[in-house]
Amino acid sequence: MQLKGHVLTAHKTYWLEHAWLGTHVEPGVALEVSTDGRIAALRTGVDAPPPGAEVLRGLTLPGLANAHSHAFHRALRSLVQIGSGTFWTWREFMYQVAQNLTPDTYFDLARAVYAEMALAGITNVGEFHYVHHAPGGTPYADPNAMGEALIEAAAAAGIRITLLDTAYLASGFGEGPNQHQLRFSDGTADAWAERVSALKPRDHALIGAAIHSVRAVPAGQLATVAAWAEEHRAPLHVHLSEQTAENDACQAAHGRTPTQLLADHGVLGPRTTGVHNTHLTDADIALLGGTTTGTCMCPTTERDLADGIGPAGRLQHAGSPLSLGSDSHAVIDLLEEARAMELNERLRSHTRGHWTANALLTAATADGHASLGRPDAGRLEPGALADFTTIALDSVRTAGPLPRLGAETAVFAATASDVRHTVVGGRHVVRDGAHALVPDVPSALAESIAAVRG
C-alpha cells in the first residue's frame, strides 16, 4: 500500500513495549517492516529498543477492522438523538442527508470520517456503499463517481477500504424504489453488475459486493449479485433480519425467513457476511453457522436504533465467524463495539464471561479483516500487512492494571481516545494522537458535515 505523502523505501523497525499476539500480551517485541509494507520479522524478548527503532509505548494490537460503515451517516450524530421514534423514523433523517451528497462533498465527508477512524485505531473499513447516482437516479458522467470518491477518501485518510458496492433496487417486496431511493438504484441486478465491474481494486482498496437487504433486492435477482461475488472471489455483505418488520414482510411475500430466502438463492457461504443478524430463528442460526456465513455485529448502532440484541454467541457456536462495525457512527470506537457485544450478552443471559478479551479482540481484528477480503491482515506475525495500533496503558482509563492484562484493559476499560499510534503499511498515519495526513480532523468533520446537512 502506498499512502499519499508516504513512500515505502526501506526496512524499518518498531519496538513494541507490549504487544498482543492473539493469545497473550508479550513484553518487548521488535517488529521489522519490509519495503512492501508487510511484517518481515517479529522478535520477542527484546528488553530494550534496538538502535534506530521507533518506540511504541503502551499495548500494540493489530489494526482494527471496521467491517460495516455508512460514512455519510456520521452527519446524523446527535441530530437523530432528539426525541423518540424508531428505525423507520430515523431513516427519514438519513434520506435527507443522502440527498445532499455529491462526489465532492462525499469525498470531504468520508475523508474526515476515515481520519476519525484512523484516530480510533482502525486501519481497514468495509464501506457498505449504496448512494450511487445523482438525486432522481441519473447516473454521473462516471457512473462510479461516488464509489471512487470513497476510495480516494480512504487513501487521503491513510487507511484501507473494501468498497462493498451495494445493490439497492426496491423499497420493499414487490415495490419499486421510492423518491429517496432512486439515486441508490441501478434498476436491475444486471445493471448493477455491469456498473460495479468497472471499479478496479488498487493497493489500498478492494472491491466487494453487498445486497442491501432482502426487501431491497427482488428475490429473482439475488443470485445475480451472489454470482458476481463468486466470479470475482469478492466479499459479499447483506443487512439481515435487522428489523422484525422486515422478517414479517418476507414471510408474507415468500413464506420463509430472510435467511432462508438468501440460502435458497445461493447467497450464503464463507465469503458472505450477514450484518446485524438480530431476529433469527433456530433454523436461521443453523443455516448461517452451517454455511460458515459470517456475522457482523454493530452493537452501538443496534442499541441506538432500538433494534435489539442479536444472538452473537449462538451464531459463533454454530460456526459463524464474528466481526464488528460502527455502522451509523453513533460513535466510532471498535473497542466499545467489542465491549458492548459481551455486555449485551450479559444483560440478556444474566451471566458473565461469554467471550474472553482475546476472542473479542480477534473479532475486532483478524476476523474483521477476513470478512473484508483481507485474511493477510489483523495479526502481528511475519507476512501479515504491517497495520497496527497502539493503546496507552497510562491514561486515566487504563492506568493501574498489570501490562499482562492488556487485552482485558483494552476491551473493558480503554476507548478510542486511548489510541496513541496507528500504522498502516509500515508508516505512521497517527502519531502521538495526531493524524499525519489530516491535520485538523475535528474541523474537517464540522465543515464537511455542515456542507451535507443543508
**Candidate list 6, 129, 276, 435, residue with the active-site label:** 276
Distances (CA, A) of 323 to 7, 245, 380, 419, 433: 31, 25, 18, 20, 25
- CB within 8 A of 223, min separation 6: which ones? 265, 266, 267
Nearest CA among 422, 392, 423, 421 for reference residue 409:
392
Residue 212 falls in the annotated catalytic set: no
Distances (CA, A) of 130 to 41, 95, 134, 402, 423: 40, 12, 12, 45, 29
For residues 63 and 123, is the Cβ–Cβ distance under 8 A?
yes
**Candidate list 327, 333, 367, 418, residue with the active-site label:** 327
- Give me the DSSP letters along 294-354: EEEE-HHHHHHTT-----HHHHHHHT--EEE--BTTSS--HHHHHHHHHHHHHHHHS---S
Residue 276 falls in the annotated catalytic set: yes
For residues 135 and 120, is the Cβ–Cβ distance under 8 A?
no
Residues tagged active-site: 276, 327
